[in-house]
Each structure stands twice: as C-alpha cells, then as structure tokens.
C-alpha cells in the first residue's frame, strides 16, 4: 500500500495535486483530520485500496498538531508514506485569491487575505519539513501536475535529488535546500542569436562548453554534493532540492541543472526548470 499526504497553503495547488493523483488511480480524500488518518487507512486497507491520497491542511486546524505523530504511526502500518507540501509566495497567493474570488479558509474572523496567509503559514510551520516541498509561485498548473506525477512514481526507498533552475529576478525558490548563484558566469543573453534559446539548446551548450569557468562551477557544485549526499542518506532524508540560479532562469542555470542531473544519473534524480516550466498553463486551486 502507498499513502501520499498532500498539505500546504491554501491557493498553492492542493486541489490540482489531488486531481492528478485521482487520475493516476489513487483513492483520494480531501480534508481529513490528522487524528483520523490511521483509522481511515485501516478501513481503506480492508476495502482493498492499494494507492491512497489524502489532503490534510488548515481546514482541520485543531488536529494539525497531531500530524507529525500520526505520520510516524502510519509508517508503522504502511511502508510507503510520503508527504507533498505545496507553498507559494504571499503576493502570488493574494493574486490567485483575487482572480478566483474565492474566500480564504481562515477569513471567517475578519482577517485580510494577507493576514490569513501569514497565519496559515505559522499554523503549518511544523509540517513544512515533514515531506517534499514544491514552490508553485512560478509554476503553471500543467507543470505542477507533472511534478506531482513524478513524485508519486519515485522510489520512496531512495533519496530523491532534485535539480531546479530558476531566475533570481523572479525570487529564490521556497523549496530549495541549497542555492547556488551562477550569475558570475558568461551570459549568452548578450548574443542576439543565442538570446531566444535556452540552456537545453545545442548552440547554448556549445557556448558554455567553451568556457572553462562554467566547467569549474559545475565541478565545484558536483564535488560539494558528492561529499555531503551520503550524510543526507544516513539522516534518512527523502529529498534534497538543489537550486541553480542565474538572472532570468533561461540559459546558465538551465544548462548547469541539466549537466548536474546527467552527472548524478546513478542517483534518483528529478529535473525542474522553474522559469521554463512556468511559462504557460491554467490556474491553481
């Protein structure tokens, strides 16, 4: 049996994630109190369900404090329990609530949307580090669907190493464990022929392959990870997210994320390009 818990901030895409899992054949339950998780799982087991997804968030606020203990108990009953935590920046969440004209779940006490978001983030503070974080601030819904699908299919018995490219002018990813700044490297943006391309295109790859500094940066980042990944595995970490940032998230960071992912092919690797993945798609809910 596999259990995936979905949590995070309202408006960050939890409904999108749950629908993805439902399409993948998971038995999905929205907004179940943490104190009911074990009883529910035993019941679903009796019914023969093998893949289950449950969202747990501030709509069941009084039980949130019990979630860490509940997850520990669940792992004694099910070998594969994983939690996906979705979040986004406050300004993005405010915009989403404004566009959809939906009420924030915590708005009943006369709080503004900004105050609700701040309060909700505080309420979920002890949940953030229990699983894998995904920052949906710059993601299209289609990209989020892809990310959730990949996380569901990953081998939970192995550490997942996530390489994520991004642009500093769009903000640092909230889900990063390590952030490497590669803005000091040569920039193909200033070549008009190369400007429209991305770090995945061959002319850009050729440009960087000719620059010794780029190879040195890649070697230094790879060396750091090779040195410390074994310690993360010993610490029973399930995910480590390495963010590589340049100015716009189109050339340097994309190229290096691609190269590093290829260099760690022996590990369980996921590759994300925040700015490229977030260029199109529908909204979040």
Q: What pLDDT score was predicted for residue 281?
A: 47
Domains of the chain (ranges; CATH) run: 1-157 (3.40.50.300), 158-285 (no CATH)
Tell me the C-alpha distance between 53 and 59, whole Å: 17
Picking from 200, 198, 252, 247, the residue whose alpha carbon sits closest to that of residue 221 is 252
8 A C-beta contact, residue 64 and residue 36 = no
**Neighbour count for residue 208 (Cβ, 10 Å):** 21
Low-confidence ranges of the chain (pLDDT < 70): 279-285
Q: Is the dihedral of CA 38, 42, 45, 47 positive or negative?
A: negative
Q: What pLDDT score was predicted for residue 284?
A: 54
Kindly report the pTM of this predicted structure: 0.88
8 A C-beta contact, residue 239 and residue 164 = no
Q: What pLDDT score was predicted for residue 157?
A: 87
Q: What pLDDT score was predicted for residue 79?
A: 85
**Sheet strand arrangement including 132-135:** 27-29, 51-55, 2-8, 80-87, 132-135
Considering just the CA atoms, what is the radius of gyration of the chain in Å?
20
Tell me the C-alpha distance between 41 and 54, whole Å: 10
Q: What pLDDT score was predicted for residue 109?
A: 77
Q: pLDDT tens digits for 75-106? A: 999 989 999 999 999 999 999 999 988 889 99
Share of the chain above pLDDT 90, in %: 85
8 A C-beta contact, residue 21 and residue 53 = yes
**Sheet strand arrangement including 268-273:** 178-181, 239-246, 160-167, 268-273
Picking from 41, 48, 57, the residue whose alpha carbon sits closest to that of residue 7 is 57
Biggest CA-to-CA distance, the chain: 63
């Amino acid at each position: 049996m596999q259990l995936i818990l979905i949590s995070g901030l309202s408006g960050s895409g939890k409904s999108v994630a749950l629908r993805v899992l439902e399409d993948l054949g998971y038995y999905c339950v929205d907004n179940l109190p943490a104190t009911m998780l074990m009883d529910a799982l035993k019941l679903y087991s009796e019914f023969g369900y093998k893949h289950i997804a449950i969202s747990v968030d501030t709509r069941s606020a009084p039980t949130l404090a019990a979630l860490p203990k509940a997850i520990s108990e669940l792992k004694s009953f099910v070998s594969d329990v994983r939690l996906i935590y979705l979040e986004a920046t406050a300004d993005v969440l405010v915009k989403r609530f404004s566009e959809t004209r939906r009420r924030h779940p915590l708005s009943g006490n006369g709080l503004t949307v900004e105050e609700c978001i701040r309060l909700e983030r505080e309420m979920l503070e002890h949940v953030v580090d229990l699983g894998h974080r995904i920052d949906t601030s710059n993601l299209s819904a289609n990209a989020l669907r892809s990310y959730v699908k990949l996380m569901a299919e990953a081998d939970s018995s192995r550490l997942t190493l996530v390489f994520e490219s991004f642009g500093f002018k769009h903000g640092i990813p909230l889900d990063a464990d390590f952030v490497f700044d590669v803005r000091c490297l040569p920039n193909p943006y200033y070549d008009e022929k190369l400007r429209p391309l991305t770090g995945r295109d061959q002319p850009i790859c050729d440009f960087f392959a000719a620059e010794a500094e780029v190879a040195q940066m890649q070697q230094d980042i790879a060396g750091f990870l090779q040195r410390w990944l074994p310690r993360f595995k010993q610490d029973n970490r399930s995910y480590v997210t390495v963010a590589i940032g340049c100015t716009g998230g189109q050339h340097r960071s994309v190229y290096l994320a691609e190269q590093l992912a290829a260099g760690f092919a022996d590990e369980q690797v996921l590759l994300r390009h925040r700015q490229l993945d977030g260029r199109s798609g529908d909204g979040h809910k």
